[in-house]
Amino acid sequence: MDARITPGDVGGTVRAPPSKSYTHRAILAAGYSDGAVVRSPLDSADTRATARAVEAFGGTVERDPDADASDRGTENALVVDGFAGDPAVPDDVIDCANSGTTTRLVAGAAGLADGGTVLTGDASLRSRPQGPLLDALEQLGARADSTRGNGQAPLVVFGPITGGEVAIPGDVSSQYITALLLAGGASEEGITIDLTTDLKSAPYVDITLEVLADFGVDAEPIGSEAAAGADGFRVAGGQRYAPADGEYTVPGDFSSISYLAAAGAVAAAPGDAVTIRGAVESAQGDAAIVDVLDRMGADVEWDRGTATIRAGRSDLDGVTVDVGDTPDLLPTIAALGAVADGETRIVNCEHVRYKETDRVSAMAEELSEMGASVAEDQDVLTIRGGKSDLRGATVDGRGDHRLVMALSVAALAADGDTTVRGAEHVDVSFPSFFETLADLGVAVDLE
């Protein structure tokens, strides 16, 4: 499906979709429990993959028919009958589709099962690195293999592990750490993680620690009070996953908020703004988008008391942004940089190449199609907004939800219509994205 976007003024009030990162963790944590209700989960292709995995391990995940599914689905609920920390050996292969988060988090659960679990997914997922996590599971006593011997899915994990100590790099994917922490609380002995490199994307591990705490599981960084700067992590075994009153509520998603706030910053009508509800303060590193917009000179305000963000249009200036801890913001910042005056440098971004696609090269190439002046190095993406004159074009979202949404934001500031190919891939994290843009006044034609 293609999305044809006509530039124009935007404004109005919309609600942020629930957090994909929190939803993944909450569904799996509920799976580790005797049973729990997950309120306001994100219903997307990726999170449905995690729900299927919980069912493959012997749990059930059902939508609460009594929940209010209004307001674009943000008030729905999932009733999870968990496998109580003892995952069964799946009857069939677990298809993780395009969800790398599902693959990694579920691989940890597979390590607890007394037998073999096979994990696979689509072509994009089968190109992403899983080797360090497989090695970690081997250190804990599992047999963990890549069927092609290249550290990529399909994966085969034979358990059970009982826990122990493991050394793993922290600069490839923080999701490896999350997988081990979630599994560790349900293991017999617990797991101690020694980081052999500095941890990147540390806020995502803070999210994991927060969700674990909300489910009554004690886990902690070693050598630091938070994930950033930690030497490792420790989680005791034999713990019971049980949220207060049997329920957990997912906060709004700041990765998705970034596109809406950016839309306001580049295209809000004079005297109007985009107001986003559901911006609940949490451990999400992508809340840094508010600071990035402020540094660029945007008219932006985050009222934490009411959990709302307001973003109006103003002249933007290029800045330097380190995305070591916030890789998912790179596409949004790149789009903003193409609109801003001066030079925007996105640094410490090599790990962003190992997502659904190589987002560094992809954003460089697609923004160039729209007339942006872009320079790409291995660890730096530079957008010369002052030398860019965005024009409508046909660009390819490359099967990556974040590229589709970021390019749609850039389209709002282009001269002429832009067609974004692969628009259907927003279903991964923000299924109602184009409907939400339309609510803000954007002329969107889905073809």
177-185 mean pLDDT: 98
Q: Are residues 204 and 299 in the same domain?
A: no
Angle 63-65-66 (CA atoms, 0-180°, nearest 5)?
Answer: 125
Cα–Cα separations (whole angstroms), residue 417 to 56, 412, 443, 444: 45, 9, 10, 10
385-405 mean pLDDT: 95
List the one residue out of 253, 260, 259, 287 whose CA is nearest residue 276. 260
Number of domains making up the chain:
2
SS3 label, residue 373: strand
What element of type H or E holds 344?
strand 343-347
Q: Are residues 201 and 346 in the same domain?
A: no
191-215 mean pLDDT: 97
Within a 10 A sphere around the Cβ of 76, how many other Cβ atoms?
21
CA pair distance 40, 7, nearest whole angstrom: 32
φ, ψ of residue 370 to 5 degrees: the values are -90, 5
CA pair distance 296, 264, nearest whole angstrom: 13
- Residue 294 belongs to what domain range? 2-17+252-446
257-286 mean pLDDT: 95
Tokens of 28: 């799996």
Contact 267, 299 (CB under 8 A): no
Q: Are residues 235 and 312 in the same domain?
A: no
Reported as a single tens digit per residue, the pLDDT across 311-346 is: 999 999 999 999 999 999 999 999 999 999 999 999
List the one residue out of 305, 352, 355 whose CA is nearest residue 333. 352
Identify the pLDDT of residue 58. 98
Share of the chain above pLDDT 90, in %: 95
CA pair distance 57, 48, nearest whole angstrom: 14
Identify the pLDDT of residue 11. 98
Q: Are residues 7 and 93 in the same domain?
A: no
Average pLDDT, the chain: 95
CA pair distance 127, 383, nearest whole angstrom: 28
Which CATH number belongs to the domain containing residue 303 in this structure?
Answer: 3.65.10.10
Domain boundary among 195, 221, 249: 249
Identify the pLDDT of residue 71. 46
Domain boundary among 207, 227, 249: 249
Q: Are residues 198 and 222 in the same domain?
A: yes
Domain boundary among 249, 284, 302: 249
Contact 144, 155 (CB under 8 A): yes
Contact 309, 268 (CB under 8 A): no
Q: Are residues 142 and 258 in the same domain?
A: no
What element of type H or E holds 214?
helix 202-214
Q: How confident is the model at residue 164 (pLDDT cuts 50, 70, 90)?
A: very high
Identify the pLDDT of residue 66. 75
Q: Indicate whether 73 pLDDT > 70.
A: no
Q: Are residues 143 and 222 in the same domain?
A: yes
Q: How confident is the model at residue 76 (pLDDT cuts 50, 70, 90)?
A: confident
Q: How confident is the model at residue 75 (pLDDT cuts 50, 70, 90)?
A: low
- Beta carbons within 8 Å of 358's beta carbon, 6+ residues apart: none
Reported as a single tens digit per residue, the pLDDT across 136-145 is: 999 999 999 9
List the one residue out of 193, 187, 143, 205 whose CA is nearest residue 169. 193
Contact 30, 36 (CB under 8 A): yes
Angle 83-151-349 (CA atoms, 0-180°, nearest 5)?
Answer: 100
**pTM of the prediction?**
0.84
Contact 241, 216 (CB under 8 A): yes
Within a 10 A sphere around the Cβ of 212, how many other Cβ atoms?
24
Tokens of 338: 């193409």
Among all residues, which ones are annotated catalytic?
328
Q: Are residues 133 and 37 in the same domain?
A: yes
Q: Are residues 97 and 231 in the same domain?
A: yes
64-72 mean pLDDT: 61
CA pair distance 38, 375, nearest whole angstrom: 43
Give one word for 138, left, alpha or beta, with left for phi > 0 and alpha for psi -120 to 50: alpha
Q: Are residues 363 and 242 in the same domain?
A: no
Contact 191, 183 (CB under 8 A): yes
Reported as a single tens digit per residue, the pLDDT across 80-131 is: 999 999 999 999 999 999 999 999 999 999 999 999 999 999 999 999 999 9
Q: Are residues 232 and 271 in the same domain?
A: no
Binding-site annotation: residue ranges for 3-phosphoshikimate:
20-21, 25, 173-175, 201, 328, 355
Q: Are residues 119 and 70 in the same domain?
A: yes
Quote the strand ranges of 122-264, DSSP E: 143-146, 155-158, 163-168, 190-195, 219-222, 232-235, 247-249
Q: How confident is the model at residue 447 (pLDDT cuts 50, 70, 90)?
A: confident
Within a 10 A sphere around the Cβ of 96, how many other Cβ atoms?
28
